[in-house]
Amino acid sequence: MISKILNKIDIRELTLDELKDIFVKKGQPAFRGKQVYEWLWKKSATSFDEMSNLSIELRNLLNEEFCINHIKVQDKQVSEDRTIKSSFRLHDGFLVEGVLIPAEDRMTACVSSQVGCSLTCKFCATGTMKRERNLTPAEIYDQVVHIKNWAQNHYGKPLTNIVFMGMGEPLLNYSNVMAAIKKITLPEGLGMSNERITVSTAGIAKMIEKLGDDNVKFRLALSLHAASDEKRNMIMPINESNSLEAVGKALQHFYNKTKSRITFEYIAFKDFNESIEDAKMLLKFCKKVPAKVNVIEYNPTGDGQFEKADSKKIDAFCAYLEKNGVKATVRRSRGKDIDAACGQLANKKHDDALMEG
């Protein structure tokens, strides 16, 4: 679908061949299309003026017909632990958030796939926002470009990993997420490795199967958080239409096709899902498909409905899994002081500013 803003077409919605065609129709050589394509993707140009190997006439011509709907940094906060979060302003005014998580051995970009989210998971701040719209491939790509630049400029290191764990459910914006990943991984885009990209889903069984059919090369993570339908229904309404059995089958299909080990994310909530009984249920689910478990510390989101589990219980929970042959790692959360941690992305600063203004 081509969106027309002020009668201009966003030029990044065109394929390389379409761009070449446009130049040929204007009596220009096709390679001009490739030049423009490289400016748009490889060099992330935000205006036609930057395209210095095109004549001023050609740049003006493009300017009359096309626009570049690039995202803009609205504000940027650096956490005590060096995590950087920004809200990005989209061309139609919406805001999404992206985060750079620096670690010893890696620089990870956490990006959004939708404005808001439709899944209403009870523990997640983004879940309280309405899902406004899907992000375009270019809007996803732009977040990565910005965050990659922060890694270089703030910490002098290249971006190594990307996780689709920001706002939104990536598998409900399937084709745009796939198109973005293609651009991120192709040499004429950012040339990053598929193995360093993780798409995280709340568990849309049909779309997990589709990932398998499409034989994707990136990693898959499932936000599991409870290993019985009874408990999962209580915290993740999506489970009512995508039972653990259905999701488990979809994961088996995914694994059979891709041979890629899955990560289960499991937030430990106090007195809810962190007992040894719960670990036993999780272990049973882990038998379905080769997987490892990341136990995540709960980040309070404000309504006080949930509490963080005690670290001793988390350790015992992980030890039980490990003892039974499942790799389990505790993920301490990052960027909490600036609400950049998992589940805290809800444009809070912007809301505050709106209230004040």
Binding residues for ligand SAH, per CB under 6 A?
123-124, 165, 169, 200-202, 223, 265, 267, 296, 298-299, 301, 342-343
CB of 123 to ligand SAH, least distance (A): 5
The 10 Å Cβ neighbour count of residue 261 is: 13
Tokens representing 3 are 């969106």
* Polymer length of the chain: 357
Please, which residue, 69 or 223, has the CB nearer to ligand SAH? 223
Please, which residue, 154 or 210, has the CB nearer to ligand SAH? 210
DSSP, collapsed to helix, strand or coil, labels residue 311 as helix
CB of 165 to ligand SAH, least distance (A): 4
Please, which residue, 139 or 265, has the CB nearer to ligand SAH? 265
Tokens representing 206 are 């049909």
**Which of 80, 139, 342, 356 is an active site residue?**
342
Tokens representing 38 are 């490289």
CA pair distance 72, 90, nearest whole angstrom: 7
Tell me the C-alpha to C-alpha distance, in Å, between residue 194 and each of 118, 140, 278: 27, 15, 33
The DSSP code for 308 is B
CB of 15 to ligand SAH, least distance (A): 28
CA pair distance 303, 120, nearest whole angstrom: 14
CB of 135 to ligand SAH, least distance (A): 13
Active-site residue, 121 included: no
Active-site residue, 97 included: yes
CB of 96 to ligand SAH, least distance (A): 12
CB-based burial label for 121 (10 Å; 0-12, 13-18, 19+): buried
Q: Which residue is nearest to ligand SAH (CB)?
A: 343
Cβ atoms of 64 and 323 within 8 Å: the answer is no
Report the candidate in 202, 39, 241, 240 with the shortest Cα–Cα distance to residue 113.
Answer: 202
User: E strands of 46-148, at which residues?
Assistant: 66-67, 72-78, 84-89, 95-102, 107-110, 114-115, 133-134
Relative to beta strand 328-331, strand 291-297 is parallel
**Which of 38, 50, 97, 132 is an active site residue?**
97
Please, which residue, 40 or 117, has the CB nearer to ligand SAH? 117
CB of 64 to ligand SAH, least distance (A): 39
Residues 2, 8, 9: CA angle, nearest 5 degrees: 30
Residues classed as catalytic: 97, 342
